[in-house]
Structure 1
Amino acid sequence: MELVGRMPHAIRLCVCFTFFLSVARAFYLPGVAPKDFFKGDTLKVKVQKLASVKTQLPYSYYSLPYCTPKKIVDSAENLGEVLRGDRIENSPYEFKMREPQICSVVCHSTLQPKDAKEFKEKIDDEYRVNMILDNLPLVMPYKRSDTDSLVYQHGFPVGVKVKYGGQKEPKYFIYNHLAFTVKYHKDEGTNAARIVGFEVKPFSVKHEYEGNWNDETRLTNCDPHAKRIVTGNDSPLEVEEQKEIIFTYDVEFQESDIKWASRWDTYLYMADDQIHWFSIVNSLMIVLFLSGMVAMIMLRTLYRDISKYNQLETQEESQEETGWKLVHGDVFRPPTNSDLLCVYVGTGVQCFGMILVTMVFAALGFLSPSNRGGLMTALLFLWVFMGLFAGYTSARLYKMFKGTEWKKITLKTAFMFPGTVFSVFFVLNALIWGEESSGAVPFGTMFGLVLLWFGISVPLVFVGSYVGFKKPTIEDPVKTNKIPRQIPEQAWFMNPVFAILIGGILPFGAIFIELFFILTSIWLHQFYYIFGFLFLVFLILIVTCAEIAIVLCYFQLCSEDYLWWWRSYLTSGSSALYLFLYAAFYFFTKLNITKPVSGVLYFGYMLIGSYAFFVLTGTIGFYACFLFTRLIYSSVKID
Structure 2
Amino acid sequence: MALGRLNPGTWVPWMLLFVSYVWAFYIPGYSITRYNDNDPIPLLVNKIFSDQTQLQYAYYDLPFVCPPSGRAHGGSPFGSGQSISLNLGEVLRGDRIMTSDFELAMGKDVECRPLCTREVSRSDVKWARHLIKDGYVIEWIADNLPGATSFVTVDRRRKYYASGFKLGYRDISPASGRPRYFINNHFTIVIRWRGMPEGGKVIVGFEVYPKSIAAEDRNQDGCPKDVHKEQEGLGLYIAPDMSRIQEKYKGLSYIPEDDDDDDDGAKLKVPYTYSIYFREEPKIEWANRWDLYFNNQAEGSMTHWLAIINSLTICTVLGVTVFVIWSRTVQGDIKGRGDGAMEDQKLKTKSRQKSGKSGDKSGEGLLDQDADVEGGDISSDEEAVEDTSGWKLLHGDVFRIPAYSGFLAPLVGSGMQLFFMVTGLLLLSCLGVLNPSFRGGFVSVGMGLFVFAGLFSGYFSGRLYKTFGGTAWRTNTLVTAFLFPGLAFFLVLILNLFVWAQASSTAIPFGTLIGLLALWLLIQVPLVYIGSWFGFVRATPWEHPLKTNSIARQIPPQPWYLRSPLGPLLTGLVPFAVLFIELLYVFKNLWQDKSGYYYVFGFLSVVSVVLIITVIEVTVIATYNQLCSENYNWWWQSFLAGSSSAFWIFAYCVWFYLFKLHVTGFVSSFLFFSYSLLACVVYGLLTGTVGFLAAYAFVRRVYGGIKVD
TM-score, with length taken from structure 1: 0.90
| Distance in 2 of aligned mates of 1:398 and 1:310 | 34
Superimposed CA distance per residue, residues 507-554 of structure 1 (whole angstroms, 9 cap, x where no aligned partner): 122221222222222212121112222222221121111110000100
For the residues of structure 2 that align with 1:425 and 1:38, how far apart are their CA atoms?
Answer: 46
Partner of 1:315: 381
Query: Residues of 2 paired with 1:210 and 1:535: CA distance?
Result: 56
Q: 1:602 to 1:146 in 2, by over 3 A?
A: farther
The CA distance in 2 between the partners of 1:189 and 1:527, in whole Å, is 31
| 365-374 or 312-321, larger mean C-alpha shift | 312-321
Change (3 A) 1:380 1:220: closer
Say yes or no: does 1:259 pair with 2:271. no
Contact 1:209 1:218 in 2 (8 A): no
Secondary structure in structure 1 of the residue aligned to 2:32: coil
Corresponding position of 1:592: 662
Going from structure 1 to structure 2, the CA distance change for 1:434 and 1:385 (only over 3 Å counts) comes to same
- CA distance in 2: counterparts of 1:315 and 1:374, whole angstroms: 68
Is the 1:32–1:135 contact (alpha carbons within 8 Å) kept by the matching residues of 2? Answer: no
Of residues 459, 473, 481, the one that matches 2:541 is 473
The one-character-per-residue Cα deviations of 1:192-236 (angstroms, maximum 9, x if unpaired) are 11001011222111154468x5xxx364522xxxxxx423x7111
Instruction: Select the residue among 412, 420, 427 that pairs with 1:345.
Output: 412
Distance 1:538 1:307, change over 3 A: same
> Are 1:392 and 2:459 counterparts?
yes
Residues 1:440 and 2:468 aligned together: no
Distance change in 2, residues 1:204/1:578 (3 Å):
same
Measure, in 2, the Cα distance between the counterparts of 1:308 and 1:246: 89
Superposition deviation, residue 444 in structure 1: 0.7
Aligned-partner SS, 1:252: strand
Cα offset, 1:273, TM superposition: 3.3
Residue number among 297, 302, 324 corresponding to 1:297 in the alignment: 324
Cα offset, 1:143, TM superposition: 4.1
Give, as a single letter, the amino acid of the residue that structure 1 aligns with 2:212: S
In structure 1, the residue matched to 2:651 is: 581
The structural deviation recorded for 1:382 is 1.0
Unaligned 5+ segments in structure 1 are: 1-23, 223-228
Contact 1:32-1:371 at 8 Å conserved across structures: no
Which amino acid is the alignment partner of residue 666 of structure 2?
A: P
How far is 1:499 from its partner?
A: 2.3
CA distance 1:218–1:534, change in 2 (3 Å) = closer
- 2:552 maps to 484
> Paired residues, what number?
603
Match of 1:171 in 2: 180
Counterpart selection for 2:269 from 237, 244, 250? 244
Residues 1:334 and 2:361 aligned together: no
User: 1:346-389 deviations in whole A, cap 9, x for unaligned?
Assistant: 11111111111222122111111110111101111111111111
Q: Using a 3 Å threshold, how does the CA distance of structure 1 residues 318 and 148 change in structure 2: closer, same or farther?
A: same
Superimposed CA distance per residue, residues 274-325 of structure 1 (whole angstroms, 9 cap, x where no aligned partner): 3333323322332332243233322333222222343675421343311211
Give the letter aligned to residue 320 of structure 2: M
Counterpart secondary structure, 1:173: strand
Secondary structure of 2:41's aligned partner: strand
SS at match of 1:96: coil
Residue of structure 2 equivalent to 1:563: 633
Instruction: Kindly provide the amino acid, as one letter, of the partner of residue 505 in structure 1.
Output: L
Aligned: 1:94 with 2:162:
no
Distance in 1 between residues matched to 2:549 and 2:441, nearest whole Å: 53
Match of 1:544 among 614, 623, 639: 614
User: Could you tell me which residue of structure 2 aligns to residue 452 of structure 1?
Assistant: 519
Greater alpha carbon shift after TM alignment, 73-82 vs 384-393? 384-393
The one-letter amino acid paired with 2:381 is Q
| Structure 1 stretch displaced more, 139-148 or 50-59 | 139-148
Deviation at 1:32, TM superposition (A): 5.0
Which residue of 2 is the match for residue 19 of structure 1? none
- Give the conservation status (yes or no) of the 8 Å contact 2:304–2:603: no
Report the counterpart of residue 409 of structure 1 in structure 2. Answer: 476
1:276 and 2:295 equivalent?
A: no
Residue 121 of structure 1: how far off its partner (Å): 1.9
Q: What residue identity is the alignment partner of 2:628?
A: C
The Cα RMSD (Å) is 2.2
Structure 2 residues without counterparts, runs of 5 or longer? 1-21, 71-80, 239-266, 342-379
**Aligned-partner Cα distance in 1 for 2:625–2:604:** 32
The structure number with the bigger radius of gyration is 2
CA distance in 2, matches of 1:56, 1:218: 36
SS of equivalent residue, structure 1 residue 251: strand
Deviation at 1:420, TM superposition (A): 0.9
User: Which is worse superposed, 308-317 or 163-172?
Assistant: 308-317
Instruction: Give the drift of 1:39.
Output: 1.3
Instruction: Quickly say closer, same or farther: Cα 1:493–1:59, change in 2 above 3 A.
Output: same
Aligned to 2:676: 606
Letter in 2 for 1:293: V
Q: Decide which moves more: 99-108 or 417-426.
A: 99-108
1:91 CA displacement: 1.4
> d(CA) in 2 for partners of 1:494 and 1:46?
59
Change (3 A) 1:415 1:312: closer
In structure 2, what residue type is equivalent to 1:605?
Y
The 1:165/1:30 distance shift into structure 2, 3 A limit, reads closer
Query: Which residue of structure 2 lines up, in the alignment, with residue 63 of structure 1?
Result: 61
- Higher mean displacement: 540-549 or 242-251: 242-251
The reply to whether residue 221 of structure 1 matches residue 247 of structure 2 is no
Q: 1:605 to 1:248 in 2, by over 3 A?
A: same
Correspondence list, 1:3-402, <5 A: 32-64=30-62, 65-71=64-70, 72-143=81-152, 150-187=159-196, 190=199, 192-209=200-217, 213=220, 217=221, 219=223, 221-222=225-226, 229-231=227-229, 234-241=231-238, 242-256=267-281, 257-271=283-297, 272-300=299-327, 301-310=329-338, 314-320=380-386, 321-402=388-469
**Residue 633 in structure 1 maps to residue 695 in structure 2:** no
1:492 shift after superposition: 2.5
Closer, same or farther: CA 399–188 of 1 in aligned 2, 3 Å: closer
Amino acid at match of 1:498: L
Q: Rate the CA distance shift 1:54–1:599 in 2: closer, same or farther, 3 A.
A: same
Whichever residue aligns with residue 34 of structure 1, its letter is I
In the alignment, is the contact (CA less than 8 A) between 2:170 and 2:182 conserved in 1? yes
Decide whether the 8 Å contact of 2:339 with 2:705 is kept in 1: no
Deviating more after overlay: 309-318 vs 257-266: 309-318
- Pair 1:250–1:627, CA change in 2 (3 A): same
| Counterpart in the other structure of 1:21 | none
Identify if the C-alpha distance between structure 1 residues 152 and 444 changes in structure 2 by more than 3 Å, giving closer, same or farther. Answer: same
Answer whether contact 1:183 1:255 (CA < 8 A) is retained.
yes
Counterpart contact for 2:137–2:167, Cα < 8 Å: yes
Question: 1:176·1:202 contact (CA, 8 Å) conserved in 2?
Answer: yes
Distance between the aligned counterparts of 1:441 and 1:341, measured in 2?
Answer: 32
| Residue 134 to residue 208, structure 1, CA distance change in 2 (3 Å) | same
| 8 Å contact kept, 2:50–2:135 | yes
Cα deviation code 1:86-136 (max 9, x no counterpart): 000111222121122112222223332233222112112211111111000
Q: Secondary structure at the match of 1:236?
A: coil
